Amino acid sequence: MSDWLSNPLSLFDIKGQVAIVTGASGAFGALAAKVLAGAGCRLVLAAGKQAELDAIASACAETGAEVEPINLRPSSEENCAQIVGEAVARFGRVDILVVASGKNDVSKIHDMAPARFLDVMDANVTQSWLMAQAVTRQMLKQGTGGKIVLMSSARGLLGHPAGYTAYCASKSAVDGITKALGCELGASGITVNAIAPTVFRSPLTEWMFGDDDKAKTTRAGFLSRVPKGRLGEPSDLAGPLLFLASKASDFYTGHILYADGGYTAG
């Protein structure tokens, strides 16, 4: 019997692996950091907000994880190379990349300055590409494969009437990077996949979980299109992340995993 058949959960074992998380001070980045720390990874956490970065690094260290915080955004080729270099200097390799950095800027197209559109594209698309490039170079040098997980959104597939042209375009581009890079690296043992959520509980969306009239109306309108009948919780993202970061997903690449309660299926 194959070893994994006698212990199927071993496919999800990432203890001791080295993971880089960018955007570690944001909602999904912080969640990813905590999940990977709890799974026994050694972490390099990158973010532009020092206080928030220190807080999440401390929280991860309390689990016993080894953590290297870096106060950098993946906003240039040089920054991305430095983040990867710090990981290699501290831990000797890189096994997992989670790109959780990004932004949104809600505005109707007739009111949006081109610079604001380009800012969203830079944060969500260019920075994802640059970080994936830097980690790919290191993983190819190592020659042992690896896991790249990008952050997309259901808005990469579906439009939105409330001023999301920049965000939707950026997440569609992330989907394109995921598919193209998954094909490009397929034979190398490096998998490239994306998690695409809808509305999840976070500091930015907490108001939607409230009992006031605005929250109830907004929630009811959204949930009318969600077969599961509820909004997402952080735990709903933890499982997909562990799957895509582990051997369990070795035959999956170029895949967009919709964590959306069936929202995009309807």
User: For 238-247, what is each residue's pLDDT tens digit?
Assistant: 999 999 999 9
* Amino acid sitting at position 78: E
Query: Are 127 and 73 contacting, i.e. CB atoms less than 8 angstroms apart?
Result: yes
pLDDT at 200: 86
190 confidence band (pLDDT: 50, 70, 90)? very high
Position 119 pLDDT exceeds 90: yes
Tokens describing residue 171: 């997440």
Quickly state the pLDDT bin for 161 (edges 50, 70, 90): confident
What would the mean pLDDT of 150-168 be, rounded to a whole number? 93
In this prediction, residues 31-56 reach a mean pLDDT of 98
Distance CA(243)–CA(112), nearest Å, equals 38
Active site residues: 167
Q: Which pLDDT tens digit goes with each residue over 215-231?
A: 899 889 888 999 999 98
pLDDT value at position 69?
Answer: 98
pLDDT at res. 252: 98
CA distance 42 to 13: 13
pLDDT at 2 over 80: no
Mean pLDDT of all residues in 7-13: 95
Structure tokens at 6: 């006698």
Q: What is the DSSP string of 86-136?
A: HHHHHHS---EEEE---------GGG--HHHHHHHHIIIIIHHHHHHHHHH
pLDDT for res 67: 99
pLDDT at 206: 86
In this model, does residue 237 exceed pLDDT 80? yes
| For residue 66, pLDDT beyond 90 | yes
Q: 21: part of which helix (H) or strand (E)?
A: strand 18-22
* Integer Cα distance of 254 and 74 in angstroms: 22
Domains and CATH numbers, the chain: 14-206+235-260 (3.40.50.720)
Query: How sure is the predictor about 101, in pLDDT bands with cuts at 50, 70 and 90?
Result: confident
* Predicted confidence (pLDDT) at residue 19 exceeds the cutoff of 70: yes
Tokens of 62: 């309390």
